[in-house]
Chain A
Amino acid sequence: QKEVEQDPGPLSVPEGAIVSLNCTYSNSAFQYFMWYRQYSRKGPELLMYTYSSGNKEDGRFTAQVDKSSKYISLFIRDSQPSDSATYLCAMSDTGGFKTIFGAGTRLFVKA
């Protein structure tokens, strides 16, 4: 079993839809949870960084962490074609050292 499980998709939604992306994990020591966006032929770009459980909002993006269920989510409101990318969840027990990534979910937002 992988430490971090993420559905690879692809996920296709119409412009303006609310997108929900999810990951599950098995290591209860993880305390730091990140979401990265990766465009084709580019490196990952940090979107959200959350410590422990709870919600964090930044513009159209909301990250949720449920440590009791070992489940994290990223919501994208009013999705745009420019949001089309691969979204990677990532987590660590020491805040950046030996970060474990999910496989990534490919998102397509259709105009």
Chain B
Amino acid sequence: ETGVTQSPTHLIKTRGQQVTLRCSSQSGHNTVSWYQQALGQGPQFIFQYYREEENGRGNFPPRFSGLQFPNYSSELNVNALELDDSALYLCASSVIQGNTDTQYFGPGTRLTVL
């Protein structure tokens, strides 16, 4: 086990609703990244938070937003849900040392948008 936990495990929402997904990082990890993994695809980078500030973003619209808290937990918020948002959402925590880090993934939250 990586020590990274995510909640909830599964979630069903309808189009247009808003959702909040949660992640608890390993203790001491100052960086968290969020990924979207569609069925049969590899994870796609959404954004990364370092010391509670957004540190970079992938090709996702502003309705995807996040927060990182001092206790190593973080949130991914998605507004105005669309059918294509149905996917496995993964968080990965890490410690940046120099310019390298090793990411530890949580088990993911499976989001279904109807």
**A43 pairs with B107, CB closer than 8 A:** yes
The answer to whether A103 touches B40, judged by C-beta atoms less than 8 angstroms apart, is: yes
Q: How large is the interface on B (under 10, 10 to 19, 20 to 34, 35 or more residues)?
A: 20 to 34
Cβ-neighbour of B43 out of A8, A44, A97 (below 8 A): A44
A-B contact pairs, 15 of them (CB 8 A): A4-B42, A43-B106, A44-B43, A44-B105, A46-B104, A49-B102, A88-B42, A95-B99, A96-B33, A97-B48, A98-B58, A99-B33, A100-B45, A104-B40, A104-B42
State whether A97 and B108 are in contact (beta carbons under 8 Å apart), knowing that A8-B40, A44-B43 are contacts in the complex: no
B79 at interface by CB-CB < 8 Å:
no
A81 and B35 alpha carbons, distance in the complex (Å): 28
- Is A61 in the interface zone, CB < 8 Å from B? no
Closest to B96 in A: A96
Q: How far is the CA of A44 from the CA of B31 in the complex (A)?
A: 17
Total number of A residues with any Cβ neighbor in B under 8 Å: 26
Interface residue A94 (Cβ < 8 Å from any Cβ of B): yes
Chain B positions within 8 Å of A8 at CB level: 40
The answer to whether A101 and B101 have CB atoms under 8 Å apart is: no
Among residues of A, the one whose C-beta sits closest to the C-beta of B58 is A98
- B2 contacts the other chain (Cβ, under 8 Å)? yes
Evaluate contact between B102 and A46: CB separation under 8 angstroms. Answer: yes
- Nearest A residue to B45 via CB reads A98
By the criterion CB–CB under 8 Å, are A101 and B43 in contact? yes
How far apart sit A25 and B4, CA to CA, in the bound complex (Å)? 29
Q: Is B7 an interface residue (CB 8 A)?
A: no
**What residues on A are CB-neighbors of B103 within 8 Å?**
46, 96, 99
